[in-house]
Amino acid sequence: MNIYIDTVSPEQIRTAERRFQLDGVTTNPSIVAETDRRYKNIVETAGEITDGPVFAQVLAESVDGMVREARGYQDWADDVVAKIPATRPGFEALGRLRADGVPAGATVVYTAEQAVLAAKNDATFVAPYVGRIDDSGADGIATTRRIQSIFDAQGFETEVLAASIRNTTQATALYESGIDGITMSPAVLDAHVDSSETAESVAGFAAAWGDQDPPLSE
Ligand code: E4P
């Protein structure tokens, strides 16, 4: 299973890389827009920090524009995967990128049907947006599990990359059901470590040790 971090901040990527074993970095236009940095610089820097892929989303709405951006992103880092929205032009762009051997997958996926067609188009990943699916009134976890189960049954090699994860409960539900990959914000990733009982137990060990010499003192 792959775990990605969804951020454009080099500091957040470095901190997470020091603490956890991460598999790459995802980005999207909304988090890019929160900074003054150019998208190229963001992807280049992320690529220098991570050993895994950097996912960069196309902004164009036309097929030609999506294909041009996805191809152009390939020059920004060694391992860039283009995120193509699961729209009609997006599927057409995916087909052209497949023919050209440009790594690309389907993002903003809301349904199993979109995911199946993306996998048939040799998308490297499909990203169901769990939180946003919930917002739409459907069940994000159930939809994502269904996609994973279809892909497993069909033997699709396309990675199911769960996105728009809002909390650790959603993440754990997906781990349990065998998700291929998941991306989450630094906050949700960091919250995996939270346990007041762990902190209390560590404090208890320190108190029990008392004023004895530290373990490595002479
Ligand atoms: C994934 O690559 C997306 O950037 C991200 O998960 C979107 O999440 P959001 O719904 O919080 O914007």
Q: How far apart are CA 77 and CA 103, in angstroms?
A: 13
CA-closest candidate to residue 144, choices 192, 111, 185, 188: 111
To test the pocket of ligand 1, the residue of 129, 160, 179, 184 to mutate (highest count of ligand atoms within 8 Å of its CB) is 129
Q: How far apart are CA 21 and CA 4, in angstroms?
A: 9
Mean pLDDT by 10 residues, the chain (218 residues): 98 97 96 96 98 98 98 98 98 97 98 98 97 98 98 98 98 98 98 95 96 85
- Residues marked as catalytic: 83
To test the pocket of ligand 1, the residue of 164, 165, 185 to mutate (highest count of ligand atoms within 8 Å of its CB) is 164
Report pLDDT for 25: 98
Residue 42's contacts (CB-CB under 8 Å, 6 or more residues apart) are: 8, 27, 32, 35
In a domain, residue 37? The reply is yes
In a domain, residue 114? The reply is yes
In a domain, residue 215? The reply is no
Domain span holding position 64: 2-209
In a domain, residue 216? The reply is no
Q: What is the CATH number of the domain that holds 194?
A: 3.20.20.70
Ligand 1 center from residue 163 Cα (angstroms):
5
Supply angle C-alpha 24, 71, 77, rounded to 5.
35
In a domain, residue 43? The reply is yes
In a domain, residue 174? The reply is yes
Nearest CA to ligand 1 atom 8: 164
Q: Is 201 left (phi over 0), alpha (psi -120 to 50) or beta?
A: alpha
Closest atom of ligand 1 to CA, residue 166: 11
CA-closest candidate to residue 166, choices 126, 127, 125, 134: 134
In a domain, residue 218? The reply is no
Supply angle C-alpha 164, 170, 173, rounded to 5.
135
Domain count, the chain: 1
**Ligand 1 pocket: which residues have CB below 6 Å?**
6, 26, 28, 30, 55, 127, 129, 131-132, 163-164, 183
Report pLDDT for 218: 63
CA-closest candidate to residue 28, choices 6, 52, 53, 50: 6
The interface pTM score, or ipTM, of the predicted complex is 0.97
